[in-house]
Structure 1
Amino acid sequence: MDTTDPRVGSARDNSTSPGLSRQVAGSNSSSLNSLLATLVPVLVWSALCIIIFVVLRRKCPRVYAPRALLKSLEPHERSAHLPNGWFNWIKEFYRVPSSFVLNHSSLDGFLMLRFLRVLSVICVVGIALLWPVLLPLHATGGAGNTELDRLTLGNVVSGKRLYAHALLAWVYFPFILYMISRECVYYINLRQAYLLSPYYANRLSSRTVLYMNVPRQYLDEDRLKWVLGKSVRRIWIPQKTPDLDRLIKEREQTALRLEKAEFTLIKTANAARRKALQKQQIEYERERYHASPRLGPISDTTSGITEQSSPNSKPANISEAIRSPASTLCETEKPLPDVNGSVASQWIPHSARPHHRPIANYGRRVDTIKWTRTQIGKLNSKIAQVRRQQLFKTRNLMPSVFVEFETNTDAQNAYQTLTHHRPLHMSQRYLGVRPFEILWDSLSMSWWESIIRKFLMMALITAMIIFWAIPSALVGSISNIEYLSEKVFFLKWVGDLPGAIKGVLSGVVPALALSLLMSIVPGILRYCAKLAGMPTLTRVELFTQHAYFAFQVVQVFLITTLTSAASAAVTKLLEDPTTAKDLLSQNLPKASNFYLSYFLLQSLAIGSTALLQFFNLFKFHVIQRFSNHPRKIHTRWHRLQRIHWGTVFPVYSNLGVITISYALIAPVILGFAAVGAAFLHVVYRYNLTYVYDSEIDTKGLVYPRALMHMLVGLYFAEVCMIGLFSLRGAFVPVVLTAALLVVTVLVHISLLDAVGPLLWSLPKSLTVEEDEHLLSKHPEQQHANAANDLEECGFPPGFDTSTDEHYTGDSRALEGADGAMNALGGGLKKWAKKKVKTDYPLLITTWNSFGSFWMRWISPNPAEKSNFFLRWLHPEVFSDYTVLRRMIPPDLPDPVYPKELEPDIYYPPSFIAKPPCLWIPRDPGGISRQEVEHTAKVIPATDEYVSIDKKGAITINLEATTPVFDTERLRY
Structure 2
Amino acid sequence: MNEPNHANATLSPTVMDISFGNFQAALLFNGLLAIALLLGFLIARARFPATYASRVFAVPLALQPRPLGFGVFSAIPKVLVSDKELLDKCGVEAFAAIFHARAMAVLFAAIGLPAALVLIPINATGGNGLQGISLLTLGNVRDEQKLWVHFLFTLYAVTLTLYAIFRIITESVRLRVSCRTHSLFSNRVMMVRDVPPEWRSEVEITEVIIPRVIPSAHAKVSKDHLAARNKLEAAVSGFFSKISRRSKQGTPADSESNTDKPNEIFADDGVMKLRPKHRSPIITGKKVDSITEYTKAMRDAQRELALLHSVENLEPMSTAFVVLREPIQAHLVSRSIVHITPWVMGQKFPSVSADDVIWANANTAYFNREWRFLFTKLVTFAMIIFWGAITAATLAFTDLANLGKSIPAFQTFLNDYPQISKLIGGVLPPVVIAILISLVPPILRLLSIFGGSPLRTYTEQEVFSQYFSFQLINIFAVNVIGSSILASFNAIKDNPSSILDILAISIPQSANFFIQYLLVRGLLAPSLEIVQAARLITGPIILFFFGKSPRSVLKRHEPPVFSYAESMAAHGLTVTIGLVFCILSPIVLVFVVLYFSLYTLVYFYQMQYVYLAVKSTGGGKFLFTAANHMYVGLFIMEFMILAIFLLSKNYIISGLMVLVVAVTIWSYSQARQFQAIIDTIPVSTVAGKSTLYSGGILFSDKMTRWMKYVVSSRPEEEEEEGTLVHLTKEESTAVNTTATNCAADIIIVHVDVDEDKTLEKLTVKKVSASSLYMDPSMGDVGLKVWIPKCGVGNMYREVVNEIVGAISENQVVSVGAGVNAKGNIVLSNGKYAEMCGL
The one-character-per-residue Cα deviations of 1:695-736 (angstroms, maximum 9, x if unpaired) are 154101011111111100111112211221222111222222
Matched, 1:125 2:110: yes
1:526 & 1:771 partners in 2: Cα distance?
Answer: 41
Of 745, 749, 758, 2:669 maps to 749
2:548 aligns with one of 618, 629, 650 = 629
2:321 counterpart SS class: strand
Question: CA separation in 2, counterparts of 1:918 and 1:603?
Answer: 44
SS in 2 for 1:145: coil
**2:560 corresponds to which of 638, 641, 647:** 641
Pick aligned residue for 2:301 from 379, 382, 388: 379
Equivalent of 1:895 in 718, 732, 741: 732
Does 1:353 find its partner at 2:277?
A: yes
- Structure 1 CA distance for aligned equivalents of residues 118 and 401 of structure 2: 41
CA distance in 2, matches of 1:171, 1:501: 41
TM-score (norm 1): 0.71
1:569 is matched with: 488
**Quick check: 2:236–2:787 contact (8 Å CA) kept in 1?**
no
Contact 1:58 1:84 survives alignment (8 Å): yes
Question: Does 1:934 pair with 2:802?
Answer: yes
Secondary structure of the residue aligned to 1:210 is strand
Relative distance call for 1:727 and 1:505 in structure 2 (3 A) is closer
Q: Is the 8 A contact 2:427 2:516 kept in 1?
A: no
Query: Which residue number in structure 2 is paired with residue 298 of structure 1?
Result: none
* In structure 1, distance between residues paired with 2:653 and 2:27: 36
- Shift in CA distance, 887/134, structure 1 to aligned 2, threshold 3 Å: farther
Per the alignment, residue 907 of structure 1 pairs with 774
2:273 is paired with a residue whose SS is coil
What does 1:33-52 align with in structure 2 at a 5 Å threshold? Answer: 33-52=21-40
Contact between 1:630 and 1:956, CA under 8 Å: does it hold in 2?
no
Change (3 A) 1:672 1:335: closer
Q: 1:257 aligns with which of 231, 243, 246?
A: 231
1:959 to 829, 833, 837: 829
SS at match of 1:899: strand
Mapping 1:847-858, distance limit 5 Å:
none
Contact 1:424 1:447 in 2 (8 A): yes
Q: Identify the match of residue 467 of structure 2 among 548, 551, 560.
A: 548
What is the CA distance between 1:512 and its match in structure 2?
5.4
AA matched with 1:567: L
- Secondary structure, in 3 states, of the residue corresponding to 2:205? helix
SS of match in other structure, 1:223: coil
Corresponding residue of 1:680? 599
The amino acid of 2:159's aligned partner reads P
- Aligned residue for 2:585, secondary structure, equals coil
Whether the 8 Å CA contact 2:129–2:140 is kept in 1: the answer is yes
Q: 2: distance between equivalents of 1:524 and 1:372? A: 37
Deviation at 1:425, TM superposition (A): 1.6
- 1:333 aligns with 260
Aligned residues: 764
Structure 1 CA distance for aligned equivalents of residues 68 and 688 of structure 2? 40
User: Is the alpha carbon distance of 1:715 and 1:255 closer, same or farther for their aligned partners in structure 2, counting shifts above 3 Å?
Assistant: same
Deviation at 1:534, TM superposition (A): 1.0
The residue that corresponds to 1:866 in the other structure is none
The percentage of counterpart residues that share the same residue type is 19
1:207 aligns to 2:188 (yes or no): yes
Q: How far apart are residue 215 of structure 1 and its match?
A: 1.0
Q: Please tell me the residue identity of whatever aligns with 1:726.
A: L
1:492–1:630 CA distance, 2 compared to 1 (3 A): farther
Q: 2 CA distance for matches of 1:551 and 1:473?
A: 14
The alpha-carbon distance between structure 1 residues 118 and 326, as it changes in their structure 2 partners (threshold 3 A), is closer
Pairwise CA distance, 1:566 = 1.2
Instruction: Give SS of 1:663's match.
Output: helix
> SS at the partner of 2:398?
helix
**Shift in alpha-carbon separation, 1:431–1:944, aligned structure 2, 3 A:** closer
| CA–CA separation in structure 2 for the residues paired with 1:489 and 1:764 | 72
TM-superposition CA deviations, 1:589-625 (whole Å, max 9, x none): 1111222232222122222232333334335566546
Alpha-carbon offset, residue 62 of structure 1: 3.5
Matched position secondary structure for 2:681: coil
1:247 to 213, 221, 227: 221
The residue type paired with residue 143 of structure 1 is: N
1:436-835 matched pairs, under 5 angstroms: 436-474=355-393, 479=398, 484=403, 487=406, 513-619=432-538, 624=543, 628-631=547-550, 634-636=553-555, 638-697=557-616, 698-752=618-672, 754-771=673-690
Partner of 1:235: 209
After TM superposition, the structure 1 = structure 2 runs for residues 163-202 of structure 1, keeping only pairs within 5 Å, are: 163-196=148-181, 200=182, 202=183
Q: Which residue of 2 aligns with 1:150?
A: 135
Q: CA deviation at 1:683?
A: 1.4
Q: How far apart, in 2, do the equivalents of 1:584 and 1:211 lie?
A: 53
Q: Distance in 2 between matches of 1:944 and 1:376?
A: 21
Q: Give the conservation status (yes or no) of the 8 Å contact 1:189–1:884.
A: no
- Alignment-derived partner of residue 112 in structure 1: 97
1:270 & 1:772 partners in 2: Cα distance? 56
Instruction: In structure 2, give the amino acid aligned to 1:348.
Output: K
**Given that residues 29 and 145 in structure 1 are in contact (C-alpha distance below 8 angstroms), is that contact kept between their aligned partners in structure 2?**
no
Change (3 A) 1:929 1:103: same
- Matched to 2:306, the amino acid is A
Deviations 1:779-801 (A, max 9, x none): xxxxxxxxxxxxxxxxxxxxxxx
Query: Cα deviation per residue 1:941-967 (whole Å; 9 max; x = unaligned)?
Result: 4567656666x63242443759xx833
**CA displacement, residues 876-907 of structure 1 (integer Å, 9 cap, x when unaligned):** xxxxxx99876999642541423134342112
Give the 3-state SS of the residue equivalent to 2:192 in structure 1: strand
**SS across alignment from 1:355:** strand
Q: Write the distance in 1 (CA, Å) between the matches of 2:828 and 2:153.
A: 60
Take 1:191 and 1:372, find their aligned partners in 2: how far apart are those partners? 48
Assess if the C-alpha contact under 8 Å between 2:10 and 2:491 holds in 1. Answer: no
1:367 maps to which of 274, 288, 292: 288
CA shift for structure 1 position 636: 3.8
- In structure 2, relative to structure 1, the CA distance for the partners of 1:578 and 1:481 (3 Å cut) is closer
1:224 paired residue among 181, 199, 205: 205
CA distance in 2, matches of 1:723, 1:493: 39
**How far off is 1:539 after superposition?**
0.6
Partner of 1:90: 76
Deviation at residue 267 of structure 1 after TM alignment: 6.1
1:151-204 superposed Cα distances (whole Å, 9 cap, x missing partner): 2111012334333333432343133223312431332134223432xxx3x211
> For residues 12 and 688 of structure 2, what CA distance do their matches in structure 1 show?
61
Give, in angstroms, the shift of residue 738 of structure 1. Answer: 2.2
Give unpaired runs (5+ residues) of structure 2. 1-8, 252-256, 695-711, 720-724, 734-747, 749-764
TM norm structure 2: 0.82
Q: CA 1:37/1:771 → structure 2, altered by over 3 Å: closer, same or farther?
A: same
CA distance in 1 between partners of 2:413 and 2:156 (Å): 53
Q: Which amino acid aligns with 1:80?
A: R
**Using the alignment, how far apart are the partners of 2:18 and 2:415 within structure 1?**
25
Listed as ranges, the gaps of 5+ residues in structure 1 are 1-20, 226-231, 275-324, 776-881
Q: Is the 8 A contact 1:211 1:428 kept in 2?
A: yes
* CA–CA separation in structure 1 for the residues paired with 2:795 and 2:10: 72
* Cα offsets for 1:397-436 (capped at 9, x unmatched): 2111111122223333323333333211222111121112
Question: Which structure has the greater CA radius of gyration?
Answer: 1
Q: Please give the alpha-carbon distance, in whole angstroms, between the structure 2 residues aligned to 1:482 and 1:138.
A: 25
Distance 1:592 1:884 in 2: 47
- Counterpart of 2:759? none
Instruction: Give the SS at the match of 2:678.
Output: helix
Offset of residue 374 of structure 1: 3.2
Determine the C-alpha separation between the residues in 2 that align with 1:567 and 1:887: 63
Shift of the 326–454 alpha-carbon distance from structure 1 to 2, 3 Å rule, reads closer
Shift of 1:129: 4.7
